[in-house]
Structure formats: structure tokens, C-alpha cells
Amino acid sequence: MEAVVASAYGRNKIHPQKFALWVACAGILMMFAAFTSAIIVRQAAGNWLEFRLPDIFYVNTVVILLSSFSLHTSYLAFKNGRTSLYRGMLAVTFALGAAFVVLQYLGWQMLAGIGIELTTNPSGSFIYVISGVHAAHILGGLGALTLAMLHAFLLPHKVTPARKLRFELTLTYWHFVDFLWLYLLFFFTMLY
Amino acid sequence: MANTAIKPVVTEEDLLIEEYGYDDHFHEHHHGDKYQSNFITTYIFSQDHKIIAKQFLITGMFWAVIGALMSLVFRLQLGFPEENMAWLRPVLGKWITINDAGIGTLAPEFYYALVTMHGTILVFFVLTAGLSGTFSNLLIPLQIGARDMASPFLNMLSYWFFFLAGLVMFFSLFLSTGPFSGGWTAYPPLSALPQASSGSGAGMTLWILSLVFFVVSVLLGGINYITTVLNLRTKGMSMWRLPLTIWAFFVTAILGLLSFPVLVSGFLLLMFDRSMGTSFYLSEIFIGGQALDHVGGSPILYQHLFWFLGHPEVYIIILPAMGLVSEVLSVHSRKPIFGYRAMVYSILAIGFLSFIVWAHHMFMSGVNPFISNFFVIFTLIIAVPSAVKVFNWIATLYGGNIRFNSASLFAIGFVSMFISGGLTGIFLGNSAIDIQLHDTYFVVAHFHIVMGVAAFFGMFAGIYNWFPKMYGRFMNETLGRLHFWGTLIGAYAVFWPMHYLGMSGVPRRYYRFDSFEAFGQFATMNQFITIAAIATFAFQVIFVVNFFYSIWKGRKMTTRNPWGATTLEWTTPINPGHGNWPGKIPAVQRWAYDYGKDGKEFIPQIKPVEEGESEAH
């Protein structure tokens, strides 16, 4: 894809693609805001099965937080020319991200294990659907990380503006889905 | 592009752009025209915003014709319920049932499918994609002085997702069980239970799939519009110098970005209810003599999620029309727009308020009356910015040197429609009056006039005004005026009587009224409405013919700025190539509304402020 063909008058403080990503994040956030408001509205209507969120979801929170940290380390290493740290931390991030998805799946199995299946009660259904949609966004992030790894391992380590921009886009998105999970966990913890 | 090869006559605009413009070295890079090298990349998978705008417009027109024809079929049913419809059998096939006497009747379930599809198509495909998609794409880069959108590629995807959405919806029309028939709002349980009606199975599955594609299209477009407006404005183009069109498209895109994802969330829960057995919206239900497993769902939850999109959606439809009308009125009355800043603030106020009024669609859904009060108040407050806008449009016209052409007539017609439809909004916004008027033809009249017809008028004003910029030719003026008067009179003839039907309690969405004694007296009024609808449609045929004829045979544009407008799009060559300006990007020196100032008829935005000039913006 052609980078911005239309870059006009050069006074922009923020690159248009970065800005567009932020705008897109706002859209995604609205989607989840709708889900969490739906929980509140639905819970107020009664017939709401209460249960405790399995601990594995908290383990997962640590995993995703660590992955944000490792990706940021990788980004700094990329900028400072420390190739092995850059590549290593990128791979670690990918592994942590993949682990997050697997752990979410285990979390759903544990939920089913305590008798909260997808169709048992809307209170449980919300957890499955919302964490599932979030996991889909993580998978998108893993796709971006795959691309970043291809760049990191196949290309010589050079800090070009285009590569820096690409990395920053990946980094921003990854931090965003991480934050998104914290936001969701807040609701899951407060309302269940 | 051939036209860039021929050096056009050097005009004053060229000299101004050359002297003050901003050189972005655009045409020195080879990449500039790479994606317009052959027929497919130029006209089909185009990344040029001007071509994408035309794609949106023509696709929107296609859907408008389909949607309007559907309304004629169900209007025939309502106006002439006893009439033989056998002649429609070649088109509608088995949905026309023929009895022993050879009398053809429209199948009731297909009547509902037609109403549902008419609403879906007009609201989403025509008045969202066809209106905002067309003019945001055409005007944002041209009026802010950008080479193209921030991401031409995403812009292309935006159109093709819309196309895909249309393809899926079009396919659903031909299902043997028929398209979805539970109303364009798709309330559960009709939308959630495949066994609820014949259209609730495969028809609904395709409907929801189509709309998810559509939302992707809106979001890709919207992200681009917002980014482009904020990041790619040319030198000197501060936010306060933007034409009102751009302000309107900008706020529209923000509304779409914040509300359409909520619709997707609502749809996702609906999909789980449909196919995975969850109970988000489904409560204890007996259907076909059987109790369903679903327990504890809340259909009201869907309504909340739907109308959180649904209400901003009506402003997504009307704001672009308002922007186009503001611009057209100012240009053709040769006066600056009255109260520019008030116009901007009222667009922002309408945008903000649109998010906190959604429950006024749900006054009769069992919402707590105390909560309703809150929504009544905010709904009525929307009248304030709306009235500011109406006042400013009229004040712009007042004392103006008005050119009555197709574009400005439609813009004036818009103001008329917006007042007529807006006033009935004040009735409906009151939860107490809504008890009587809810789900009657009064509502049908209200929203058709204020967001259907009015938005169409804004769109027509835009098309007649910017057609020369799109195709380098003019549309036929006589046919244009004929189109205007036919549409104005026709639309009022269709929708005005519906207020009386509604006040008498005639409910909407009924298949026929002749079996109800209370409504029998309206049979002739319903006939009148149907005849008026057919006549109004005939005038739209004139428009379509005029449009396509003029693309190839219309009067050619000989000067760049036929309307004497100040904005940047008229400083581009008659047929602007890729990148819009052949040389430098123009720099902006003043606001967009310097008409009739200091004895000059108009002063383009690229002209520097002269010494001793009165108030400069």
C-alpha cells in the first residue's frame, strides 16, 4: 500500500496514519463500551447469575501486561540499534500474546467447569462473548507482530522512518488492546 | 490523464497558487499516477477520491431507485387493497398470490419484507453511503486543499465494503423465503428467532451480514474523513476557515465512528442469540406451541443498543445535507453565510446531543417514565441548535441577490422541509403526546419529511451544484427545475396527509386498513397518497435521465468557477487529474464566505487580504 500520497503542508505534529489508528481505537473502544453498558443494563433487569471470575483471568492479565512491557523494550532497542534485544523481545512479545489467547481459552473451559456455560445465564454469556471479541483483537495484534518479526529477522537492522512508523503503529495498537483488557477486567471484577 | 498534458490557459487563480501556494513536490514523485494507469485502476478499483465519490453516488442512485420502487408496491397495496396486482407477478413471482377469480394479491409477509427493505436501503445505502459517502469523498480533499484522502487505499476499501454489503442485501431479495421482514430496526424476537417469520431465517442472516459489511465501510470511510480533515488541510486553512460542508462531514464522521461500533456490538449479541442459544435478548417465549429454552433475556437491551446508533444515524443523514445546503445557499444568494460560527457551534451541539436522546424512540417500550423525562428534555433542546441553523439560512437568503437555479431551489426546499418536519419532532419528543402518536402515520410523516425528503433535497442541491466539478458539464437546468417543483409538491402531497392519518390513530406497518371500521374513512386519502407517490417517483426518473444524459451530453463547462464561488475546489482545472492541482497546492488566505465584500462580488479563499480591506477572517 502506498504510504500517504496526500501528505500536504508539513506542519503536522502527528503522522496521519498514527492519527488514523487512534481514531480507529476510539471506534473499537465504543464497541466495548457498548458491551459493558449492556452488562450494566442487563444486570439491573434481574435474573442475573452471580459467580466468581476464575483466577486464570488474573494470571492472564499479568501475561498481557508483561507483553506490553516486552514490546516497549523491543521498540527502544530497535531505536537504539541493539539488534539482539530488539529481535528477542519481539519474539517474547509474540509468545506472551499467543499465551494470552491460549489462557483465555483455558479460562473459558474453567468457566464451563464451574457450571457457567455459554448459554447458562446472560451473566456468563457476556464474559464469553466480550472476552472472545477481545481475543479476536489480540489475534489481529498477533498478525501485526508476525509482520514486525518478519521485518526484524529478515531485514538488516536499520532505523528508517517507514520502519519506525510501522513499529510505532504496532506498539500503539498492542498497548491499546492491553489497556482494553484492563478496562474489561475492571467490569468483570466489579460486576460479578 | 490527458488534461494535465495540455497546458490550460493561465488564469488569475493559477498565478495566485503559483505565487502563494505550497510546493509539496507531489508531481515530482513517480508514484503520483501509478494507480491510475489502466481502466481497472482508474474506474473500478480506483484510489482517487473523486472517482470513489462517483462510485458512491451512482451505487446510491441504484439503491434509491430500488428502494423507491419497493415503496410504490406497498403504497399500491395501501391505496388500492382490492385492486388486481397480477400484473406484478412477472417481477414479484410467488409473492403475488392469484386466487380462483384470477385476482392477484400481494402476500402479507412480502409486504413486510418490502417495508423492511425500503427502510434499510434508504437509511443506510442511500442516505448514509450515497450522501455522506459521495460528498465527503468529493469535497473534503478538494475544499481543504489536499491531494487526496489520508489513506486512498482504505478509502477504496470503504467503497468496496459498501458494494459487498449491497451485493449481499440484493441477493437476499431473491431468497425463496424472502428477505428479512421484521422492520429496519430488526427488533428481537422477530430478528432473533428464525422460526418467527419467513424472512427471519436466511433473510435475516444475510441482512445482518450485509449490515456488518456496511459498518466496516462506514468506519473505514469515517476514519479517513476525520484524519484527512484534521491532518491534511493546506497552509492557512485553519478550522475556522473551513467551509461548512467540511464541518458537517467532519462531525458526521465522528458520529459514525462513535455510534456504528455500538450497533455491531448489538448485532453480535443478536447473532449469538440466533445461532448459539444465548439469551441476551430472548426471554421466556412460546412459539408454535412450544416453549423455548431461552430464559432471562431483555429485548429492551437490543433497543438501547440499536437506538444508541439509530438516533445519531439520523444526524449522520441530515448533517451532510445541512452542510451542502449552507454552502449552496451562500454561493447562490451571493452573501456570506449568516452566523458562520453559530452554524459550526450548532453542528457540534447537534452532534453532541444526538448521543443522549436515543430513548425517545423507546417511550412506549416500557422505559421508566422518570427516565423518559430526561430524554424529553434533551430531545427538545435539539430544537435550539436546529432553530439557529434555520434562522441563519433564512437570514442568509434575506436581502441576497438570489440566483434561482436547480441547486439553490433544492437548498431552499430543504429549509422548507426541515421546518415542516422539525416542528412535528417537537410533538413526538414529548413522551406524553407520544402515547397517542407513537407508531402511527404521524411518525411516518415526521421522519420522512425531516430526514428522508430533506436529506434528499440537500443531496439534490449538492448534485446540481457540484455536478460540473464531477463531470466537467452542467445538468440540464429546465429539467432540474421541473424536477424540483415536481418533487417539492409531490413530497408534500405524499407526506402532509399522513399527519392527519396519524392524529386519527392510523397505525403504521399495517398491511391493509379496509377491514377496520375506524380507518375506512381514510381510503380515499390513502389513494391520494399513493397517486402522489407514483407522480413523485416519475419526477425522479426525470432526474436520473438528466443525470446520465448530462454526464456525456450536458453543456460543457468553459470556465473553472461557473458559480463564482470562493472555495478551493473551483481553483482546480475543469477536469482535475490525480492530485487535484497540477502544480502547487493553493494556500488559503481568508475564510470561505467573502461574498459581496468591499464592492467585489466574491473573493476566492486563495486571494491574500489586501491592505485596507474591511474585517478579515
Q: For residue B344, which phi and psi values (nearest 5 degrees)?
A: -65, -45
Residue A98: inside a domain: yes
Number of domains in chain A: 1
Q: How far is A78 from chain B (nearest CA, A)?
A: 26
End-to-end Cα distance, chain A: 45
A40 close to B (CB below 8 A):
no
The grid cell for B365 is: 417500550
| SS3 state of residue A12 | coil
Residue B539 in any domain: the answer is yes
pLDDT at B1: 41
Q: What is the mean pLDDT of chain B?
A: 93
Residues 6 or more apart whose Cβ sits within 8 Å of residue B107: B94, B95, B96, B97
Read off the pLDDT of residues B219-262 as tens digits, 9 standing for 90 and up.
999 999 999 999 999 999 999 999 999 999 999 999 999 999 99
Chain-chain contact of A41 with B301 (C-beta, under 8 angstroms): yes
- Please check whether residue B346 lies inside any domain of the structure: yes
Q: Say yes or no for a CB contact (<8 Å) between B227 and A26.
A: no
In a domain, A109, yes or no: yes
- With cut-offs at 50, 70 and 90, classify the pLDDT of residue B43: confident
Is A2 within a domain? no
**pLDDT (tens digit, 9 = 90+) per residue, A76-96?**
999 999 999 999 999 999 999
> Given this model, what pLDDT does residue A4 score?
40
* CA atoms of B548 and A124, how far apart (whole Å): 56
Distance from CA of B212 to the nearest CA of A (A): 13
In a domain, residue B20? The reply is yes
A5 and chain B in contact, CB less than 8 A: yes
> Can you give the C-alpha Rg of chain B in angstroms?
25
Question: Which CATH number characterizes residue B380's domain?
Answer: 1.20.210.10
* Residue A130 domain boundaries: 56-191
Domain contains B475: yes
Tens of pLDDT, residue by residue over B382-399, are: 999 999 999 999 999 999
CA-wise closest residue to B507 among B441, B576, B561: B441
User: Closest approach of chain B CAs to the CA of A76, in angstroms?
Assistant: 27
pLDDT at residue B2 in the model: 45
Q: Over pLDDT 90: what percentage of chain A?
A: 82
Q: Please, which contacts does B407-410 make with residues 24 or more away whose CB atoms are closer than 8 Å?
A: B407/B328, B407/B332, B407/B461, B407/B462, B407/B464, B407/B465, B408/B328, B408/B329, B408/B332, B408/B333, B408/B461, B409/B480, B409/B481, B409/B484, B410/B328, B410/B457, B410/B458, B410/B460, B410/B461, B410/B464, B410/B484
CATH number where A174 lies: 1.20.120.80
Q: What is the pLDDT of residue A11?
A: 53
Is the CB of A44 inside 8 Å of chain B's CB atoms?
no
Q: DSSP per residue over B451-462, as a string?
A: IIIHHHHHHHHH
Partner A contacted by B306 (CB < 8 A):
no
Closest partner residue to A125 (CB to CB) among B47, B233, B280 is: B280
Tell me the residue range of the domain where B337 lies.
2-29+47-281+294-602
Structural domain includes residue A12 = no
Q: Does residue B305 belong to the interface with chain A, where contact is any CB pair within 8 Å?
A: yes
Q: State whether the Cα torsion B595-B600-B603-B608 is positive or negative.
A: negative
Residue B490 has pLDDT above 90, yes or no: yes
Residue range B536-568, pLDDT digits in tens: 999 999 999 999 999 999 999 999 999 999 999
B609 within domain boundaries? no
CA distance B118 to B115: 5
Task: Answer whether A125 touches B (CB < 8 Å).
Answer: yes
Decide if B38 is inside a domain: no
In a domain, B269, yes or no: yes
Q: Please count the structural domains in chain B.
A: 1
Identify the residue among A14, A22, A23 best suited for mutation to test binding to B, counting B beta carbons within 10 A and taking the highest.
Answer: A23
**Within its chain, how far is the Cα of B300 from the centroid?**
27
**Predicted confidence (pLDDT) per residue in A27-64, tens digit:** 999 999 999 999 998 888 888 888 999 999 999 999 99
Instruction: Provide the whole-model pTM.
Output: 0.94
What percent of chain B is modeled with pLDDT above 70?
Answer: 97
Whether residue B611 lies inside any domain: the answer is no
pLDDT band at B11 (very low <50, low <70, confident <90, very high): confident
What gap in Å lies between CA A52 and CA B290, rounded to an integer? Answer: 34
Confirm whether A94 is domain-assigned.
Answer: yes
Q: Is residue A97 part of a domain?
A: yes
Please check whether residue A144 is in contact with residue A93, taking contact to mean a CB–CB distance below 8 angstroms: no
Is the Cβ of B146 closer than 8 Å to some Cβ of chain A? yes
